[in-house]
Amino acid sequence: MGRGWAGWLMLLAVLLAACTGSEPGTAESPTATRAPSPDATATATDTATTAAPTGEETPSPTQTAAGGGTLVVAISSDPGGLNPAITTSGGTHTASELLYNGLVDLGPDLEPIPELAESWDVEEEGALYRFHLRDDVTWHDGEPFTSADVKYSFEEVLLQLHSRTQASMGPSLESIETPDEQTVEFRFSQPYAPLLQQLNVTEAPIIPRHIYEGTDPLENPANNEPVGTGPFRFVSYTPDAEIVLERNPDYFEEGLPHLDEVIMRVIPDEGSQVLAFEAGEVGWLWGVPGPDQERLAADPTVEFLQTPVNPGGANCIMTVSFNLERPIMADLRVRQAIAHALNRDQFLERVLFGQGQVAAAPISSGIPWAHAEGLDMPANDPAEAERLLDEAGWQREGDGTRTAAGVEGVDDGTPLAFTFVHFPTFSAYGELLRAQLREVGMDVTLVPLEPPVFAEQVFTARDFDTNIISYCNATDPEIGVRRMYHSSNIGEVPFSNAAAYRNDEVDRLFDEAQRTIDLEQRGALYRQIQEIAVAELPYFWIVETVGTRAYRSSCSDFQPSGHFAKTASCEQ
């Protein structure tokens, strides 16, 4: 911990002093339960009454002209390490993206904007991308940033250890060349359309070659004392407690960042995060639980920022998968009946407390050029659901569970009962779904499973009838949509094609879209895919979720994710 024994001894001394004085009395009278010593009591009351949104701090360097100040951020898990190139873990990315850069950033409509690369050319119909790098970028340790860093980051780290970049870009990439220190060329075996969407700090952070080369990137000590090019640089990391970052004075974007310091505090419990925010111990929450939001909204000094972008994945849709290998779910009419029986507005209101929207298409509205408008999604219509089930041979007597009478692959008299597998955190979805489907005579058994067990049961054992997964489309359908529908993604890899959906036409359309550079033409291909998906319903798309950030009105100019605090400033 780097504090040495002196501190611990001092603490021990304080405790011992406190114990002799007040310990037997702790449970005896409430007045004795304040704090271990008179000094500490004074400190406690002082900070509590005067606490600014950012907590207490030394008053010296916070009065800079450009806003400045300190932002304290609540994060819900210990990142374990601060190298975003070796993992897609949301915890690591939340804590570390401010330290690094990608070649390009993505604007509000996901359009690529220059970051480490100041410009780029696309040649050979999209099989060759040439990036021209900035020449004024230095690593936090003073070394210059060059094209060799980019080549190393991709070849040795991202394409092996960053699972999303490896899986999407890896199979098509032929080589990465560095003609000179300021130029990088990506060559693909065939035209590759989505590249520019996969180069931001979330999908492809660039790490320093001079520090990582020749080591195992997973075990390099720099993962805990990171050196990046980003707007903030590393100061300290106390595991499971806090991470301190300070302004990078040499940052290459003129006049940025404004904040002097960003401190991340690990607060695992959501409720405690909100309490810490209300007490002024933290000034930024990545998410606010629905029930707490109303209370916070009543406070005029609290501001919210709603966004579909999250460090772990953007544009996520809560999606019900049907196991098409099971006889009951193989029948399209049963899947349609489930879709008609579900009232998705209720999911939005009761589970998400209105944060988000009902999914209007298989691809998220956060990718506007690919999201199909005006699709014929099954509407909430229980009567139609009942009709379809009758037609499919699921007979109903009274208000009970339907039973089979002439259903293919199912013995007559079998009840219409099936499992719904979900993460424990998604149990509210399961309960609502079960209640809604019971109305039309289906008997759903909820099976809550922790993520590793869920992955094994659904994707390895394939022991489920239906499930719910938060499928994140990310910034391009190639990253997050293809894996749900393409038949090559049926297998043991978690969170791929859960339905085991197989359609040659869909496979062909995805492959063609990957090679199509023109965005409009690509969008038309994805529209065709979505029309087929809605007609065949291997999945049913419930709600698009959004994250709700909360901060104090003394701070302003945040971005939703990635470099969220790069442009922010706080009044002191």
Q: Residue 99 Cβ, how far from other proteins at the closest point, in Å? A: 17
Q: Given the rule CB under 8 A, which of 111-119, 121-129, 264-272, 515-523 is the region that contacts other proteins?
A: 264-272
As a whole number of angstroms, the distance between CA 217 and CA 224 comes to 12
Of 494-553, which residues contact other proteins (CB under 8 A)? 494-496
Q: Which of 541, 547, 539, 475 is nearest to 318 (CA)?
A: 541
As a whole number of angstroms, the distance between CA 251 and CA 265 comes to 24
As a whole number of angstroms, the distance between CA 563 and CA 97 comes to 6
Of 119-148, which residues contact other proteins (CB under 8 A)? none
Q: Given the rule CB under 8 A, which of 115-123, 145-153, 440-448, 449-457 is the region that contacts other proteins?
A: 449-457
Size of the site for other proteins (CB under 8 A): 110
Q: Given the rule CB under 8 A, which of 127-135, 287-295, 444-452, 537-545 is the region that contacts other proteins?
A: 444-452
User: Which residue bears the tokens 């099976």?
Assistant: 447
Of 244, 358, 375, 417, the one binding other proteins (CB under 8 A) is 244
Q: Given the rule CB under 8 A, which of 380-388, 430-438, 446-454, 548-556 is the region that contacts other proteins?
A: 446-454
- Cα–Cα distances in Å, from 414 out to 116, 199, 409, 464? 61, 52, 11, 17
Q: Residue 384 Cβ, how far from other proteins at the closest point, in Å? A: 33
As a whole number of angstroms, the distance between CA 202 and CA 312 comes to 9
Backbone torsion region of residue 124, taken as left when φ is above 0, otherwise alpha when ψ lies between -120 and 50, otherwise beta: left
Residue 265 binds other proteins (CB under 8 A): yes
219 burial via Cβ count (<10 Å: 0-12, 13-18, 19+): exposed
Tell me if 349 sits within 8 A of 549, measured CB to CB.
no
User: Binding string, 274-293, against other proteins, x = CB under 8 A?
Assistant: -xx-xx-xx-----------
Residue 33 binds other proteins (CB under 8 A): yes
Q: Residue 311 Cβ, how far from other proteins at the closest point, in Å? A: 11
Q: Residue 357 Cβ, how far from other proteins at the closest point, in Å? A: 21
Residue 473 binds other proteins (CB under 8 A): no
User: Binding string, 291-330, against other proteins, x = CB under 8 A?
Assistant: ---------------------xx-----------------
As a whole number of angstroms, the distance between CA 500 and CA 483 comes to 11
Q: Residue 314 Cβ, how far from other proteins at the closest point, in Å? A: 12
Nearer to other proteins, 31 or 373 (CB): 31
Q: Residue 236 Cβ, how far from other proteins at the closest point, in Å? A: 8
Nearer to other proteins, 115 or 260 (CB): 260
Residue 29 binds other proteins (CB under 8 A): no
Nearer to other proteins, 436 or 473 (CB): 473
Measured in whole angstroms, how far is the alpha carbon of residue 344 from the centre of its chain?
22
Of 186-225, which residues contact other proteins (CB under 8 A)? 216, 218-221, 223-224
Nearer to other proteins, 41 or 63 (CB): 41
Tell me if 459 sits within 8 A of 419, measured CB to CB.
no
Backbone torsion region of residue 80, taken as left when φ is above 0, otherwise alpha when ψ lies between -120 and 50, otherwise beta: left
**How many CA atoms does the CB half-sphere of 336 hold within 13 Å?**
19
Q: Residue 231 Cβ, how far from other proteins at the closest point, in Å? A: 19
Sign of CA dihedral 82, 83, 88, 93: positive
Q: Residue 44 Cβ, how far from other proteins at the closest point, in Å? A: 5
Nearer to other proteins, 41 or 521 (CB): 41
As a whole number of angstroms, the distance between CA 296 and CA 278 comes to 8
Residue 34 binds other proteins (CB under 8 A): yes
Nearer to other proteins, 146 or 273 (CB): 273
As a whole number of angstroms, the distance between CA 110 and CA 223 comes to 29
Of 68-87, which residues contact other proteins (CB under 8 A)? 70, 72, 77-78, 80-81, 86-87
Of 28, 124, 325, 512, the one binding other proteins (CB under 8 A) is 28
- Cα–Cα distances in Å, from 221 out to 81, 159, 216? 9, 21, 10
Tell me if 329 sits within 8 A of 465, measured CB to CB.
yes
Of 24, 108, 291, 368, the one binding other proteins (CB under 8 A) is 24
**Which residue blocks in 471-565 are alpha helix, DSSP H?**
477-480, 482-485, 504-515, 519-536
Nearer to other proteins, 164 or 402 (CB): 164
